[in-house]
Structure formats: structure tokens, C-alpha cells
Chains A and B, each alone.
Chain A
Amino acid sequence: MIGGKPAETVLICDDEIDLVTELGDLFVAFGWGTVTSHTYHEAVAVLTEGMPVSCLLTDRAMPGGSGDDLIAFALSLPVQQRPKVLVLMTGVPDLRANSSEALADLIVEKPFDPAWLQERITHLLHRNHRVDE
């Protein structure tokens, strides 16, 4: 699903359909474009198609492929196709999983504040833009 004509687009991937819908609506309200998927393979298809995605926001525990796998796949893409910010959502507090060990830029535990998340993603996006430049 694609929003209006936002500056940035977020790809949301989670097997929880309602959660994806609500999160997508919020990001639209925040002025983002959104693309949603419910499985690893759907998300891979979106990324492979070359759709410009600024941020990948994925659940960690999903059937058919985990969020970690999806982020690893995203990082394997050419820089032009690669999302600038990679965010991992998890419903399970896991001390072993942190952003340095995982490949994500940010790990957030559910339930989280969407406004805070949007601000963090925006911040990371600008930071990563500067790094690219």
C-alpha cells in the first residue's frame, strides 16, 4: 500500500495484520509513505522490485523467515536499493539481541510509542543521509 506523495517511504513487515494496519495509518498521519507486508517473502519481493524504501521496519519473529533474516537480505542489496534505516521490532525482550550484535540500526520492544519511533527513524535517516553524503 502506498501513501500520498511523501518524501520518505517506510516498509512495514509483521505477521500481525492489525498491527501493520495501525502502524501504517500512523506513519501516513506522520507524513510518510507506507508499504506493508506480512511475511518475509512479501517484504523481500518489495525490496527486490526496486521500490524506493527509506526505512525497513520489521517484526523479528515471523513464520517463513525472521526479521533478522530480512535485514540481512536488505543489507545484501545494492546501496541504491537498500533502505537507509533498518529497524527491528520485537515482542520478546531479549538481552542477547541489541543493535550492535544485530544488523539493525534500531531495535524496539513492543509495545512502543509510535511518535517516538517516528522521531527516532527520522533522526537515523538524517544521520545516515549525512554519512552517505
Chain B
Amino acid sequence: MLIKTSILWYVAVTALGMMMIVSTVWVYQSYLSQRNELDLTVRTSSWIIFQTALEFNTLDAAISACIQNKICDGEKVLLRAEIFASRLDVLANSSETDMLTFIGPYRAALNETYRNLSAAFRLYPSEMAELKGGEISAAVANEIGGFRVTLQQILRDATIYNSDIEQRATLLSTTDPAIPFAGLWASAVALILSLVVQVKRSRRVLSEVQSLRRDDYDRQRSTINLLDTLRSPIIVVLADGTIAYCNSAAEKAFGVSQGQQEPFPLLPDLVTASAPGGSGVISIETLTKGRRSFQCSGNTFAWSGASATLYALNDNSLERDAQLAAIETGRLIVLGELSSSIAHELNQPLSTIKMASLNARMLLAKGAADAANQKLNRIDDQVDRAARIISNIRKLALPNKAEGIFNVRKSIDTCISLVGQQFAVANMRIHTDFFCATEPLVAGNSTLFEVAVTNLLLNARDAFVGRSLTGGDGVVRISVECGERLVIVVRDNAGGIEPAILPSLFESFATTKLGVGMGLGLSISRRSIEDMGGSLVAANESEGAVFTIEVPVAA
């Protein structure tokens, strides 16, 4: 279609150019023809006027001769008068004198004289025969008497007119029109050539565009063919939410179809998961395999000229299950590390309860009810204390897969309470600083976050104890800053991490605690934080190690 249009355009431009050239030549020839005709007309009209004047003078001379000499030929006068009348008719009504504008005002007088002379001729021969030459001359002279003045005026105007025409003709004859016409013609040719060149260029560009479109179409077809063979669900969504394309895996898994325009229920979750800072993981109830976990990514691109987003979903349920199992393992490891601390924490109130109950029995045996009551109150307090400890432990001990929004401040308090006894024994302290105008809320699994932070605290404790850094100087500082992302920095003064281990610190089985840990804690902690869409990095400072957690703030 575009090629046909281009050819038609090319033909039209060429025809237009040819028409311009032909027209130019035509105009030039017309100019020359009209100039010649003008010249001829002027000459002709001048000739007619001259002939009229000549006949008038001849007639006037014939009449004068008749009147003065008394000898005249009346027939001759009539002949001259007839010739003169014919000149008047030509002068007044012929096509040669139509263009002589100055004749117009005299046309009525010319015609009247002509009519009068013609009337005089009609007397002949019957009446004329009765008249003498002098009488005929007098009659004719009477008819043309006023014409002399008119003729003089016509001759004067003709002289002026002819002079003007002569000047124009001279000017035209001295100006050669060939040069401007040649310039015009050359311009036309140049215009045609430029148009032809432009048309050729346009055709070439058009051809390239068409080639690119064909390539684009081929690529799109190839892409679709490739996507159709993939087992991972692929969905292309236009800006208005219409599904421009979905492969068979997506159709089977989610029941979507190409061209579907009704609201796509998964779309908001896809947009959130694949957005920068999103978790990239989405859990979807599929039609074929139940609830599955998908690694989701979204890329915006042009689809058939329209802006669209391609969502690729990779079923990572097995990997996800393995990750969750690893995180669960990490949770159990941390729980194991805390077990001695937990036992100690619980044994303290139990010991007090046991002794207070024995004291109470002895006091009751003595009848000291008030004193015994005090012991029972103490038992009550210790039972409450044990319940609080168990409550904190349960948060960590029971698998909690539910995700939601939680308060980081409360989670950190829980972590501190869990390791509090171990830190006290190690003669270490924990300082917390919160630089947040509002409560620091994040989205994710609070248990896994607490496992990660607790693991960092236990590592700091182990580093401090492992280097025999006793003497009351062990300090862990936890600072929380709220911004676009929540930044939690855990900084200790235990001397730092071995530089050789630092690059692989978060790899599984990397440990600085030979014979103590398995080296899974930090690896699992990082996975837990990354699962929240965050990051966990480590560095050394002058006094010790710094672990920085960054997580998105909950909307």
C-alpha cells in the first residue's frame, strides 16, 4: 500500500513538473504571439484611421472642387462619399478597432455620419439623377459638415494612443523574455529534480521502516513462539490492564486469556512484587497445582507499538520451600544457641518459687500466716515472670509463617530480652537508639526478622567472649533510622571480623567460631532480610564489626 502511494506520488510530482515546463513554454509562445498581434493590430487600426482621414480629405477635396469650379461630377462625389462611409463603418464597428479605446466616445458620431451618408446614397439614382453635381456636393457636404472636427479629434487621440502603444511596443521589443522564462524553466526543473530526489529518499526511508516493521513483526512472532514453549507463565499486560498476550502455561495456571479486558485479579500483586524494592516473590493459588510460590519480574517495553509490561513468573516453590526450610533451620539453630540462656532464665524464677514455697510451708507450720502470705506473693510474681519468659520464647520457638506489618522497635526489644541473660553473663551491654518520628513499621515475617537480629547479637557476644575481651567493656549499639527505608545498624566493639572471612561471611558454613557454630546463622539471616525486600551487609570499623540491615518501610 505504501509502495503504491509512493509510486503515485512520484508520478504526480513528475507530471506536475512536466506541466510546469509545458506551461512555461506555452506562456512564452503566447507572449510572443500576443506581442506580434498587438503590433499588427496597432498597425491595422492606424491604417484604418489613416484610410478614413485620406478618404475624408479626398471627398472634401471633391466637394470643394464642385462648389468652387461649378463644374463637378456628382457621381464621382457620391462614389467618394460611399467609399468614405465604408471607412467610417470599418472605423466604428470593425474588430480591428475594438481594442482602440479612444474610438468609443466617437462611435456614435461615426455611426450617425455613416447612416446619414447612406441615406443620401439611397436618393440615387432616381432622385440623384435630377440633381446637379453642385447640389449633390452640397448635400454630402451638409452630411459631413460636422465630421471634420470629429475627425481631427480622432486623429489627435489616435496620435496620442499610437505614441503610447509605440512606446510599449518598443519597450517589449527591447526586453528579451527568454532570460526570465529560462530562469523560470530552470527553477521548475530544479524543483522537479529536488522533488524526485526527495521522493527517492522518502521511498528509501519508507522501505527501511517497512523492513524494520517486518523485522519487528518477525521478532515478535519469534518471541511469542519462544514464550509459548516456556513452562513458566508469561503475561503481557497493556497500560489499561488488558492482557495483550499470555502463554499456555499462564492460561493453564491462572485461567487468563489473551485479550481479556475484565480486571485481572493478580495484577496488583504482580505490580507490587515486581516493583523496585518489591519482594519479587508472589504466592498464587493456581488452577492446576494449588498454591505455588513464583519469582516474579516485570519489564516495560513496546508491544505492537503500545506500552506494555511483560510479567515472567518462575515457579520457585521447591527453591522457596528449601529456603524456608533453611530459614527454619536457622531459627532452630538460634533457638539452640539460646537454649542455655532460656534454661537459666526459667530456672531462676523456678528456684525462687521452690524456695519460697518451702519457706511458706515452714512459716505456716509456725502459724506465721502474714509472713507466709508474703512468700506466696513472691511466688505469684515469679510465676508471672516465668510466663513472660515463656511468651517471648514461644515467639521464636513456634514456627510463624504468617507475614504482616510489625513494629521493629518491639521486635528488637524481644531480641534483647532473649539474649539479655547471656549478655549479662558475658558482662556486655546493649544500647539502643531510635531516630524515628513514628513507630518503625515494616512488612514481613517478624519471627524471621527477630531470628536475624538475635543471631547478630549472639555473634557479637560470641566474638567478645571468644576473644576473652572481659573487663566490662562489651557494648553492642543498635541504632534504627527511619527514612525511605528503615536502616538498622548493629555495631559491636569486639574487634571486628577476620578480613579473610569478610567477603564470604554470608555464605553457608562460613564461620569465625570454629568448633562452636555451623556457619549458617548469617547466611540464613541475610536470606530472611532479603525475603523482606531488604539487605544485610557487614563491614569492619576501628573497634569492631558493623552489620547494616535495610528494609522497606511499610506503606
Contacts and interface: CB of A to CB of B under 8 A. Distances in A.
Interface of A: 15-16, 18-19, 22-23, 25-26, 29, 61-64, 66, 90-94, 109-115
A15 B351 CA distance: 13
Contacts of A114: 354-355, 358
Interface string B493-518: 00000000000000000000000000
A26 B347 contact: no
B323 interface: no
List of 5 A-B pairs having minimum Cβ-Cβ separation, nearest first: A91-B347, A91-B344, A22-B355, A61-B425, A111-B351
B351 A62 contact: no
Contact of A66 (B345, B354, B362, B425): B425
B485 interface: no
Interface in B365-385: 375, 378, 381-382
B354 A63 contact: no
A61 B344 contact: yes
Contacts of B95: none
Contacts of B359: 22, 25-26, 29
Given A19-B348, A22-B378, A110-B350, A62 B358 contact: no
B355 A23 contact: yes
Contacts of A94: 340
Contacts of B381: 18
Nearest to B356: A22
A119 B472 CA distance: 37
B76 to A, nearest CB: 167
B358 to A, nearest CB: 6
B281 to A, nearest CB: 40
B421 interface: yes
Most buried by B among A61, A64, A94, A113: A61
A18 B380 CA distance: 12
B358 A19 contact: no
B478 interface: no
B378 A18 contact: yes
A90 B345 CA distance: 11
A58 to B, nearest CB: 13
A16 B359 CA distance: 17
A25 B346 CA distance: 22
24 contacts: A16-B351, A16-B352, A18-B378, A18-B381, A19-B348, A19-B352, A19-B355, A22-B355, A22-B356, A22-B375, A25-B359, A29-B359, A62-B424, A63-B424, A66-B425, A90-B344, A92-B340, A92-B344, A110-B348, A110-B350, A111-B350, A111-B351, A112-B351, A113-B354
Contacts of A66: 425
B348 A29 contact: no
Given A92-B343, A110-B348, A111-B347, 11 more contacts: A16-B351, A16-B352, A19-B351, A22-B375, A22-B378, A26-B362, A61-B424, A91-B345, A91-B351, A92-B344, A114-B358
Contacts of A92: 340-341, 343-344, 347
B236 interface: no
A20 B375 CA distance: 13
B522 interface: no
B116 interface: no
Nearest to B422: A61
B344 A26 contact: no
Contacts of A113: 354
A93 B358 CA distance: 23
A16 to B, nearest CB: 5
A67 B358 CA distance: 25
B427 interface: yes
Contacts of A112: 351, 354
B353 interface: yes
B170 to A, nearest CB: 129
Interface in B389-439: 421, 424-425, 427
A41 B522 CA distance: 37
Most buried by A among B341, B352, B356, B358: B352
A16 B348 contact: yes
B468 to A, nearest CB: 13
Most buried by A among B350, B351, B421, B427: B351
Contact of B472 (A64, A90, A115): A64
B176 to A, nearest CB: 120
B351 A93 contact: no
Interface in B471-496: 472
A1 to B, nearest CB: 15
A106 B356 CA distance: 23
Contacts of B346: 91
Contacts of A110: 347-348, 350-351
Contacts of B362: 26, 29
A10 to B, nearest CB: 14
A19 B378 CA distance: 10
A20 to B, nearest CB: 9
A18 to B, nearest CB: 5
B353 A111 contact: yes
Contacts of B348: 16, 19, 91, 110
Interface in B167-214: none
Contacts of B344: 61, 90-92
Nearest to B348: A16
B475 to A, nearest CB: 14
B354 A111 contact: yes
Interface in B311-365: 340-341, 343-348, 350-356, 358-359, 362
Contacts of B350: 110-111
A66 B375 CA distance: 28
Nearest to B345: A91
Contacts of A90: 344
A64 B427 contact: yes
A93 B342 CA distance: 11
A19 B352 CA distance: 5
A85 B354 CA distance: 23
Contacts of B351: 16, 19, 91, 110-112
Interface string B137-178: 000000000000000000000000000000000000000000
